[in-house]
Amino acid sequence: AQTVTQSQPEMSVQEAETVTLSCTYDTSESNYYLFWYKQPPSRQMILVIRQEAYKQQNATENRFSVNFQKAAKSFSLKISDSQLGDTAMYFCALTNFGNEKLTFGTGTRLTIIP
Amino acid sequence: NAGVTQTPKFQVLKTGQSMTLQCAQDMNHEYMSWYRQDPGMGLRLIHYSVGAGITDQGEVPNGYNVSRSTTEDFPLRLLSAAPSQTSVYFCASRNSGLAGTNEQYFGPGTRLTVT
């Protein structure tokens, strides 16, 4: 069975600062994908960033980047120059290659303070 | 493209009633899934389909039925609603042709309350 753990239920940071959200996971597979999804108050699930396990290079999307530590099974999300629009729930998720099951963590509620 | 659409957005049911949550996608995706989101538990997979005519159970399938008669539609049926099914339901789809991405696209969700 695969599991995803997010140990920070809530975080807050001042606008323009950098914040890092933690995620650890467990899977017996060697080929898998990791995702960070953002869920604003509108409830829509929005993909923030994706990492393929076979790629050593950490994924980056504008202000969002990940620190993927495969041996440690850690997948943290760094948000640089945080903006008010980044206020949302953030979910870490894992799926094995070719598997439909997307396993989610319990989420981190991030608040950006003006 | 409208992407993934879900109806209704909100629904209140009495215990024992049945209903169908609708999901449609216009991206010609083969794979479609239903998740439920409960407070403090993230999203959990209910049922999924890898193509028309093919469905399978996810992590929490009890009390729900699905069918996939077309590529576009993937309805979720609650047979006899129970208060434990109060949740937010998300439909998602992805394209099997984009090998290696596994990115799922989510609908806007349906908030269901069972009294």
Environment class of A84 (CB within 10 Å of its CB; exposed 0-12, middle 13-18, buried 19+) = exposed
Kindly report, residue by residue over A43-64, the tens digit of the pLDDT.
999 999 999 998 889 999 999 9
Place of tokens 């099951």: A101
Tokens of A6: 């997010």
Place of tokens 């996608």: B25
Chain A residues whose beta carbon lies within 8 Å of the beta carbon of residue B41: 106
Q: How would you write B26-74 as a 3-class SS string?
A: CCCCCEEEEEEECCCCCEEEEEEEEECCEEEECCCCCCEEECCCCCCEC
Give dist(CA B35, CA B64) in Å, integer.
Answer: 11
Average predicted confidence (pLDDT) for chain B: 92
* Residue A88: C-alpha distances to residues A34, B67, B82, B87 (Å): 19, 33, 30, 19
Q: Do A52 and B48 touch (CB under 8 A)?
A: no
| C-beta of residue B20 within 8 angstroms of C-beta of residue B13 | no
What was the pLDDT predicted at B53? 93
What was the pLDDT predicted at A107? 96
Q: Is the pLDDT of residue B100 over 60?
A: no
What was the pLDDT predicted at B2? 78
Tokens of A106: 């319990």
Amino acid code (one letter) for A17: E
Which residue has better confidence, B11 or A30?
B11
Q: Do A105 and B33 touch (CB under 8 A)?
A: no
Average predicted confidence (pLDDT) for chain A: 94
What was the pLDDT predicted at B104? 85
Q: Which residues from A are below 8 Å from B when comparing CB atoms?
A: 4, 33, 35, 42-45, 47, 50, 52, 91, 93, 95, 97, 100-102, 104-107
CA angle B84, B94, B38 (to 5 degrees): 20
Kindly report, residue by residue over B42-86, the tens digit of the pLDDT.
899 999 999 999 999 999 999 999 999 999 999 999 999 999 999
Q: Do B45 and A100 touch (CB under 8 A)?
A: yes
Which residue has better confidence, A31 or A98?
A31
What was the pLDDT predicted at A8? 96
Task: State which residue of chain A sits closest to B56, comparing Cα positions.
Answer: A100
User: Which of A33-42, A99-108, B95-104: highest mean pLDDT?
Assistant: A33-42
- H/E stretch holding A5: strand A3-5
Confidence of residue B101 (pLDDT cuts 50, 70, 90): low
Distance, CA of A107 to chain centre: 9
- The CA distance from A64 to the nearest CA of chain B, in Å, is 17
Q: Which residues from B are below 8 Å from A when comparing CB atoms?
A: 31, 33, 35, 40-45, 48, 50, 56, 58-59, 88, 90, 92, 100-104, 106, 108-109, 111
